[in-house]
Structure 1
Amino acid sequence: MKKYQLKFLTILIIAIQMGCGNSQQNSDNNSKIDSTSNQASSKKSGLIKQKITPCLWVDKDAKAVVNYYLSIFKEGKLKEYHQYKNPPQEKGQEGQDSFETAVMEIGDIEFSILAAGPYFKFNESVSFVINCKDQAEVDYYWNALTKNGGEEGSCGWCKDKYGLSWQVVPVEYFDLINSEDPKVREKAMKNTFKQKKLILSELK
């Protein structure tokens, strides 16, 4: 247990530093990271623009994870990628020689990806809401997230192939469930519990 805790702490500290020390940057970028100037250069280049950045822990292959989400969120982009060597004491049967971090931007939000082994899994206690302009957009994101290993839930909830939970919601839905007309509210809420993907026409 102590070894596991040490491994987690080591990974967390290095990941937070995001490029300091003796880490190795993406092979596509052969320049080494300067530990004394990395933080300043990151701010200067605009990599860190949010006060709070969601961090997603996955098993492996941060680039594959990013590519998956970029295939769904078409306006997104990969902003940063790093590979780190684990300390010698952390290598072993249950570990791996290295782990990866990446920063992607989807939906105008930056997400950090930490690919550091099969120690933690996503669950429904954390989810991301996609505010969709119309039913066509709801259909697109729902279908994209639930195919190839994703999973449909109920009331507009679904999981992608990594097990991350999403709420795919047409923005008009909030007007319905918060309407001043009790009949409108009741119909929308009642029909919500009958649906998996939200069908706006059936909620009105």
Structure 2
Amino acid sequence: MTPTLCIWYDGAALEAAEFYARTFPDTRVTGVFHAPADYPSGRQGGVLTVAFTLMGLSCIGLNGGPAFPHTEAFSLQIPTEDQAETDRLWDAIIDHGGQASACGWCKDKWGLNWQITPRVLTEGIADPDPVVARRVFEAMMQMGKIDIAAIEAARRG
């Protein structure tokens, strides 16, 4: 049995899933399900849920209404291989109505939080040399979007 991540939206589950499918590799909308009757935040026939995969992760977008907005307590961490991929994903989220944050975090226009995280950052913070790990961590703490060259420089000392 494979779990499915359910993500709550205020009426924009289909729009969000379609954006993710255009933006992230191995992502696609797999089903759109309509409400069989009226419900507190929608009408019969309206989009109730959207099934999609996000980089291979099974997800359901639920149009649940405004009761439960997203917070930074939940985020999706997306590993990247190079600066071009980091820039493309970060910029796609920001340029599509999102907001930049700190340390590789950003928020999409629907309030979902993302961490666009180059592998070199993850490896640097986990470096067995605590001095190296600290330098990488301190460099990251000064960044919005992660600058891989700066992370590599911090790792080298």
Superposition TM-score, scaled by structure 1 size: 0.68
> Segments of 4+ in structure 1 off by > 2 A?
180-183
* CA apart distance, 1:105: 1.0
Return the match for 1:79 from 20, 30, 52. 30
Q: Kindly report which structure 2 residues correspond to 1:165-180, keeping only aligned pairs within 5 A, or say none.
A: 165-180=113-128
Q: Which residue of 2 aligns with 1:136?
A: 84
Return the match for 2:10 from 30, 51, 59. 59
SS at match of 1:130: strand
Cα shift readout 1:19-44 (whole Å, capped 9, x = no counterpart): xxxxxxxxxxxxxxxxxxxxxxxxxx
* CA apart distance, 1:181: 2.4
Q: Which residue of 1 aligns with 2:155?
A: none
Percent identity reads 27
Question: C-alpha distance in 2, partners of 1:60/1:139?
Answer: 29
Cα shift readout 1:137-172 (whole Å, capped 9, x = no counterpart): 111111011113200000111101111001110112
Size of the alignment, in residue pairs?
150
* CA apart distance, 1:66: 1.6
1:102 aligns to 2:32 (yes or no): no
SS at match of 1:190: helix
1:125 aligns to 2:73 (yes or no): yes
Structure with the bigger percentage of strand:
2
Q: Which residue of 2 aligns with 1:148?
A: 96
Q: Which residue of 2 aligns with 1:192?
A: 140
Question: C-alpha distance in 2, partners of 1:182/1:116?
Answer: 45
Gaps of 5+ in 2: 153-157
- Residue type at the aligned position of 1:73: F
More contact order relative to length (CA 8 Å, sep ≥ 6): 2
Question: C-alpha distance in 2, partners of 1:97/1:179?
Answer: 53
Cα shift readout 1:116-137 (whole Å, capped 9, x = no counterpart): 3222110000001001111111
Of structures 1 and 2, the larger Rg is shown by 1
SS at match of 2:14: helix
Question: C-alpha distance in 2, partners of 1:180/1:78?
Answer: 41
Q: Could you say what the CA RMSD is over the residues aligned between the two structures, in angstroms?
A: 1.7
